[in-house]
């Protein structure tokens, strides 16, 4: 049945269920604006500045490292996005087809923790941005305002999120270009072009930051393409997502690096942005504040979808509704506000450390999911089985996927650099973390060999039903 464009409801009624063809809507170009506008924000600006702040690269090598990392990581992120129209279900639910109904739970929990961390980090940045705009609003009050705004957008859901980012792409895109222009015409440092230099470990570390930024979107990127008509091609979904995300995040990362280099050494990134942008600084802070509130709705939405996925695994007869999603959104909002208010001073630093640790266990999942979708099943799955309590033809566990997943984690250990552990090879290259690259290169062929060697039923299964 062809998709219809008859006005979908403003407040999204679906949660984790299959989106039937008659309820598909939207244009593939919306993916460009979603991921471009969503990446013009303070958190990627702060992350991008680390290349020159922490790893002491100069402007040229910092920009090159950022672009290389974003362009590589964006490929993986966009390949996940292209699964959405083909499957019509959220990414974490789809993982049951690779790992089994219970075997996928670890990854669902990890993704949920990341969403919660991103949401909390962003409301901290929203609170600080609002306080920077007007001293009459304290950081805790700003945190609550930012959180409530994101919660309202998240409850309304998919359609409203896309609408806001269509607007945000133009407003934030023009804003950040104006910011670049002002900074280059009002430099506050004499060593803008000469500060820092090239060092291999710093360059590799900055590449990794860019790639991992993109990979961190992988567990939920297809959630925002699953409503598109099923006849939208993989190539169209891939390129609109890839160009939007890689371009938007690259601009933000480079903006952070430029602002830090344009101001005296030692300043915090957002303070540097405020100083470097001078008279348009308050306007930039307002734009970033609005961006944080809008984009952070994605993190809240993803966290709630993860919670629903966990509960539905054990209560498979439960049919979650839009009301369920709204109630859970408010509960998550309250918990994150408390965490943000009482740890706002150092939360972001701790969260970046946590993300680096969690990505060690997310990277093998990315490899398995992509190999299974594109090389083994070629996009054809039994949707009914994915929603069954026993996993249907996919079972409770998939031994091949779990074995490849475990090995994919182990092989990364010597290359890791996390707050919990620094591997010997990472130490030898002065702390550069290449675990993500090793994990991808090792897990992908291993899983393909294990899955195709067994000739198991779930490899041969096609799309035989709908939820």
Write down the H helix ranges in 82-228.
83-87, 91-94, 96-99, 105-133, 139-156, 158-185, 200-215
Phi-psi bin for 264: left (phi > 0), alpha (psi -120 to 50), beta?
beta
Q: 398 with 369: CB under 8 angstroms?
A: no
Nearest to 52 by CA among 259, 248, 215, 250: 259
Cα separations in angstroms, 463 against 1, 197, 377, 383: 16, 54, 10, 6
Q: Could you tell me the two tokens for 238?
A: 């891939």
282, with CB counted inside 10 A (0-12, 13-18, 19+), is middle
pLDDT at 12: 65
Q: Indicate the SS3 state at residue 346.
A: coil
Q: 47 with 69: CB under 8 angstroms?
A: no
Q: How far apart are the first and last CA of the chain?
A: 16
Given a cut of 70, the residues of the chain with pLDDT beneath it are 1-14, 157-158, 344-356, 454-467
Buried-exposed string 144-167: b where 16+ CB fall within 10 A, e elsewhere = bbbbebbbbbbbbbbbbbbbbbbe
pLDDT at 5: 47
Type and span of the H or E element at 136: none
Nearest to 221 by CA among 433, 437, 73: 73
Ordered by where they begin, the domains of the chain are 24-454 (1.10.4160.10)
- 57-114: pLDDT as tens digits: 999 999 999 999 999 999 999 999 999 898 888 888 888 899 998 988 888 888 888 8
DSSP symbol at 414: G
Q: Angle at the Cα of 61 (from 58 to 62), degrees rounded to 5?
A: 75
pLDDT at 230: 87
DSSP symbol at 345: T
Q: 406 with 383: CB under 8 angstroms?
A: no
Alpha-carbon distance of 40 to 247, in angstroms, equals: 10
pLDDT at 13: 67
Q: Could you tell me the two tokens for 42?
A: 């303070």
DSSP symbol at 374: I
413, with CB counted inside 10 A (0-12, 13-18, 19+), is middle
Q: Indicate the SS3 state at residue 188.
A: coil
Q: 386 with 89: CB under 8 angstroms?
A: yes
pTM of the model: 0.85
Q: 217 with 76: CB under 8 angstroms?
A: no
> Rg of the chain's alpha carbons, rounded to an integer?
22
The angle, 0 to 180 degrees and rounded to 10, between the axes of the packed helices 59-81 and 200-215 is 30
């Amino acid at each position: 049945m062809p998709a219809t464009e008859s006005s979908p409801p403003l407040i999204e009624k679906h949660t984790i269920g299959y989106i039937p063809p008659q309820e598909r809507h939207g244009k593939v170009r919306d993916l460009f604006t979603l991921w471009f506008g969503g990446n013009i924000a303070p958190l990627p600006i702060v992350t991008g500045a680390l290349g020159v702040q922490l790893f002491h690269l100069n402007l040229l090598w910092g920009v090159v490292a950022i672009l290389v990392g974003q362009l590589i990581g964006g490929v993986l992120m966009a390949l996940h996005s292209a699964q959405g129209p083909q499957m019509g279900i959220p990414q974490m639910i789809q993982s049951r087809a690779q790992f089994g109904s219970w075997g996928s739970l670890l990854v669902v929990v990890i993704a949920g923790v990341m969403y919660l961390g991103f949401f909390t980090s962003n409301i901290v940045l929203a609170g600080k941005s609002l306080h920077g705009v007007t001293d009459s609003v304290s950081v805790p009050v700003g945190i609550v305002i930012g959180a409530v705004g994101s919660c309202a957008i998240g409850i309304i859901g998919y359609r409203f999120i896309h609408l806001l980012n269509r607007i945000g792409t133009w407003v934030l895109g023009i804003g950040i270009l104006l910011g670049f222009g002002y900074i280059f015409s009002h430099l506050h440092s004499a060593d803008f072009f000469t500060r820092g230099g090239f060092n291999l470990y710093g360059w590799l570390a900055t590449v990794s930051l860019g790639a991992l930024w993109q990979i961190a979107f992988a567990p939920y990127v297809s959630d925002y393409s699953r409503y598109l008509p099923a006849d939208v091609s993989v190539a169209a979904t891939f390129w609109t997502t890839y160009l939007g995300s890689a371009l938007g995040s690259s601009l933000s990362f480079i903006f952070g690096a430029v602002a830090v280099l344009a101001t005296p050494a030692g300043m915090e990134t957002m303070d540097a942005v405020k100083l470097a942008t001078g008279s348009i600084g308050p306007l930039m802070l307002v734009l970033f504040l609005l961006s944080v509130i809008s984009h952070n709705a994605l993190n809240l939405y993803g966290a709630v979808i993860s919670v629903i996925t966990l509960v539905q695994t054990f209560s498979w007869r439960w049919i979650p509704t839009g009301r369920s999603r709204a109630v859970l959104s408010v509960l998550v909002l309250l918990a994150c506000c408390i965490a943000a208010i009482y740890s706002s001073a150092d939360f972001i630093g701790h969260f970046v450390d946590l993300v680096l640790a969690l990505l060690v266990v997310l990277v093998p999942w990315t490899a398995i999911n992509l190999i299974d979708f594109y090389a083994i099943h070629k996009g054809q799955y039994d949707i009914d089985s994915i929603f069954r309590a026993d996993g249907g033809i996919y079972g409770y566990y998939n031994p091949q996927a779990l074995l490849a997943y475990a090995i994919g984690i182990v092989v990364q250990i010597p290359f890791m650099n996390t707050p919990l552990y620094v591997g010997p090879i990472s130490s030898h290259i002065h702390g550069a973390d290449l675990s993500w690259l090793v994990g991808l290169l090792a897990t992908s062929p291993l899983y393909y060999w294990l899955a195709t060697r067994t000739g198991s039923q779930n490899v041969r299964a096609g799309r035989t039903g709908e939820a």
